[in-house]
Amino acid sequence: MNQSQRKGLSEFFLESLVRIAGFSTVGFVILIFLYLLQQGVPAFVRVSPANLFGKSWYPTLNSFGTLPLILGSILVTLTAMIIAVPLGVATAVFVREIAPNWAREILKPMIEVLAGIPSVLLGFFGMLLLSPVIYRLGAPTGLTAFTGALLLAYMSLPTIISVAEDALDAVPKSYRDAGLAMGATQWQTVWRVVVPAARSGIITAIMLGLGRAIGETMAVMMVTGNAARMPLTPNSLFSPARTMTATIAAEMGEVARGSTHYHVLFGIAIILFVLTFLINLTAAQSLFQKRRKGGLR
Amino acid sequence: MLLSIAALVVVVPILVVIATIVVRGLAAISWEFLFGMPRDGMKAGGIFPAIVGTILLVLGTAVAAIPIGVGGAIYLSEYARDNAFTRSIRLAIVNLAGIPSVVYGLFGLGMFVLFLRFGTSILAGALTLAIMTLPIVISTSEEALLSVPTEFRTVSASLGGTRWQGISRIVLPQALPGIITGVILGLLRAAGETAPILFTVAAFYLPRLPRSVFDQTMALPYHLYVISTQVPGMPLSIQYGTALVLLVLVLSLNLTATLIRSYYRRRRQW
Amino acid sequence: MVSQVRITDGPKVQIQQVGYTYDAKSVLRDVTLDVPPNSVTVFLGPAGSGKSTLLRLINRLNDLVDGTQLTGRILLDGEDIYAPGVDIASLRRRVGMVFALPLPLPGTVRENITYGPRLAGERSHAVLEGTVERSLGQAALWDEVKDRLDAPATSLSGGQQQRLCIARSLALEPEVLLLDEPTSGLDPISTAKVEESLFVLKSQYTIVIVPHSIQQAARVADQAAFFLMGELIEYRPGDQLFTAPRDRRTEDYITGRFG
């Protein structure tokens, strides 16, 4: 084998290696999903749908109604989004369009710091310092869905802010110039020209934040009180609730492997997997369109 | 103006959280706390094993996630064509990034602890964390590679360089700061996560250092969780102290990544 | 790296009935011409005429682009460069290329020059140093940078960077040098220096250049080929093409009736 043939062979080898590395991601997703299915399907077999989608979650009494958990997740997540979306979009607009440079230099690192704060740390803070405040504000206890939603909102903020910022960044300068040239103030230009132009990117940001919120475990587990009740009245917001994620985390350690309870927890995991899959899939579609082509093909 | 209020509402609580933990946790920090073994069911003594455990887990995650992550990024940036295969990889990455951490914990339990019989071990925990960190590493590394101007590759080819020579001699070195930043951010996440290690490695009261990769270990995030929720009578100072150590670890990783990024951005030759 | 001096009687590069499509659009149609050795051949024509594309076919740089199709043959010293099994890296060392914009690689001046030879396996420090001096001299850059060999290449001026790129290609001692509008970003003085070096270089190398302007073409061409919309319209010795073009379209282009 001459030198160039040898080089060709090692190039081929290296290319195969990186190709395998790339494809491993697909492998992992499939593997995870299959495993969840394998462990979760028995739940759907052993437990009747009426039970599974019932209103009471008392696994020790064979009552596997997941509705309180699903609704609990929805309540906490939705509330978190209601808080986080306006806050996040407004902050993104502020940072990108209006803030003076010195403010930007402070804000961006701070948001990155927030992104790095572990869930358990925020949960700890929420538990010891936030929930007493909520309690003093009149809630029956400090550990409520609202407390969880508040924490969740802050955890989703970095995602929402940075993706929204990218979307605003992508709006061509000519749009802003055109707006100002027509006599609009900066404020009007931003809200009537730039933000609508970045609309799809902002929606992507919201979806990704939503995906993050649904999947959050520790912080909510530590502050929502973990009572699997049906959150049907407005009061429920200020009462304890339980999310799907917290349920899995809290109970997995105690179940017997192979028991029905065990399988139902996996079933809940399947629901989570599918939910986040769908949300991220939708968000990803618009993200992909912005990909640059680099390298040599 | 209105918008600046939004920004303040976002930023001020961050500062409050950090400040509170620092102020209340500082009291607990001592040589013994950081380097001593826990005593008395964790109510006294130090958290050294938890610190060591977290460091070991982060190292393990790095070893597993970096080769696959950077390798995958190289594939996507330098070799992949725009076809169904590539799109499926990108879809998978977005997916992996979105999977809730507790689901990773379940998977780790089933795959590494049970099926592969690693048992509750550092190995199982690190592998679980590695898969969780993979999408972050791939995404940021790919971005770093793509940001290197195409022209360099063209020039290398025109000088008789093979594709891999161009990658290894020019593209990769130029992308390295960005890759390192991304890896650090990913490891930062791995260091702070609790749910993936809940069922795969974490032990609560283990007053000794782990003996091998097949051994269980304490870890900071799990430790904080347990002492603040499961142990009655746990002194507040120890709780805040543990929180502070975790905070410092995470913030210093954050700071390192930021510094690396800004230093190399200034020195860039393109 | 031992320089192989080939004494060929025939043309250095032969382009035979070459057609090229990109994304199903025809970019070149039935182009046939021979490039004589040790001379400057100019590819002339308006934008979109295919002249730069043809240039890149000669060192197979077009291989890096998807969705293309090539018909016909291109021969280097009588051998088909697109034959299966051809060592492309080695081809590109024999046929060097300089691009329109100065594109220094990250690193020092010295590193830029030695990049190619090191890729080819050259390890000897002495040889590499000699290569640095020789190629910088050939590019008329040695005097200006000899004290700055370890400075970053980006610290040189635009004109110097472009001559550095020429030196970089020359470091591999190619047989053919392709230049794609090499002076388009340069000031007149740097342009003059580059053109001057071409006169010296052609005694050793075969040069094919897509000029920046018609005037530049007239200044440097030994042979000139005029392209229009992918077709070769006229190919004659330089002085003849510019003073007495045979085709009406050539004349129109040269006199500036269209650009």
Indicate the pLDDT class of residue A227, thresholds 50, 70 and 90: confident
Third-level CATH fold of B47-267 = MetI-like fold (1.10.3720)
| Higher pLDDT among residues C27 and B233, named by residue | C27
What b-and-e string marks burial along C16-40, b requiring 16 or more CB atoms within 10 Å of the CB? eebebbbeeeebbbebebebebebb
Indicate the pLDDT class of residue B108, thresholds 50, 70 and 90: very high
Predicted pLDDT of residue A11: 85
Predicted pLDDT of residue C251: 87
Predicted pLDDT of residue C259: 65
CB A241 within 8 A of CB A75: yes
Phi/psi region, residue B100 (left: phi>0; alpha: psi -120 to 50; beta: rest), is beta
Percentage of residues of chain A with pLDDT beyond 70? 95
Q: Where in chain A are the domains? A: 68-246
Given the candidates 1.20.210.10, 1.10.10.10, 1.10.3720.10, 3.50.50.60, the CATH classification of the domain at A68-246 is: 1.10.3720.10
Q: Domain tally for chain C? A: 1
As a 3-state breakdown, chain A gives helix, strand, coil percent values, each rounded to 5, of 75, 0, 20
Tokens at A197, concatenated: 């132009």
Average pLDDT over residues B26-30: 84
CB B60 within 8 A of CB B121: no
Is C155 among the domain residues? no
Report the alpha-carbon angle C156-C160-C164, nearest 5: 100
Say which range, A107-116, B1-10, B132-141, C203-212, has the weakest mean pLDDT: B1-10
Residue of A86, A124, A272 lying closest to B103 (CB–CB): A272
Is A47's pLDDT higher than 80? yes
Q: What is the pLDDT of residues B145-169, one digit of tens each?
A: 999 999 999 999 999 998 999 999 9
Tokens at B239, concatenated: 């709780």
CB B229 within 8 A of CB B138: no
Write out chain C residues lying below 8 Å of B81, CB-based. 66
Mean pLDDT of chain B: 89
Predicted pLDDT of residue A296: 33
- Amino acid at residue number C124: S
Is B17 close to A18, i.e. CB distance below 8 A? no
Indicate the pLDDT class of residue A288, thresholds 50, 70 and 90: low
What b-and-e string marks burial along C193-216, b requiring 16 or more CB atoms within 10 Å of the CB? bbbebbeebbebbbbbbbbbebeb
Strand partners of residue C97: C178
Domain CATH code at residue C185: 3.40.50.300
Average pLDDT over residues A52-79: 87
Is A1's pLDDT higher than 70? no
Average pLDDT over residues A283-296: 56
Predicted pLDDT of residue C134: 93
> Which of B103, B231, B242, B245 is most worth mutating to test chain A (most A CB atoms within 10 A of its CB)?
B103
Euclidean distance between CA atoms A12 and B164, whole angstroms: 10
Predicted pLDDT of residue C3: 31
- Chain-centroid distance of CA C97 in Å reads 5
Predicted pLDDT of residue A51: 83
Say which range, A59-63, B39-43, B200-204, C136-140, has the weakest mean pLDDT: B39-43
The interface pTM score, or ipTM, of the predicted complex is: 0.89
CB B140 within 8 A of CB B178: yes
Is A293's pLDDT higher than 70? no
CB B175 within 8 A of CB B144: yes
CB B118 within 8 A of CB A235: no
Spans of chain C, pLDDT less than 50:
1-7
Q: Which of A67, A16, A14, A84 is nearest to B13 (CA)?
A: A84
Q: Which of C128, C93, C97, C130 is nearest to C111 (CA)?
A: C128
Predicted pLDDT of residue A103: 86
Residue of B81, B160, B174 lying closest to C106 (CB–CB): B174
The full DSSP string for A48-110 is -HHHHTSS-EEGGGTEE--HHHHHHHHHHHHHHHHHHHHHHHHHHHIIIII--HHHHHHHHHH
DSSP 8-state symbol, C142 = H
Q: Where in chain B are the domains? A: 47-267
Indicate the pLDDT class of residue A287, thresholds 50, 70 and 90: low
Percentage of residues of chain B with pLDDT beyond 90? 52
Q: Residue A271: in which H helix or E strand, if any?
A: helix A260-288
Nearest CA in chain C to B81: C66
Predicted pLDDT of residue A295: 33
Is C235 among the domain residues? yes
Euclidean distance between CA atoms A269 and A292, whole angstroms: 35
CB A97 within 8 A of CB B2: no
CB C144 within 8 A of CB C70: no
Question: C81 lies in which domain range?
Answer: 13-103+177-254
Is C76 among the domain residues? yes
206-265 in chain B: CB under 8 A from chain A = 221-222, 224-225, 228-229, 236, 239, 243, 246-247, 250-251, 253-254, 258
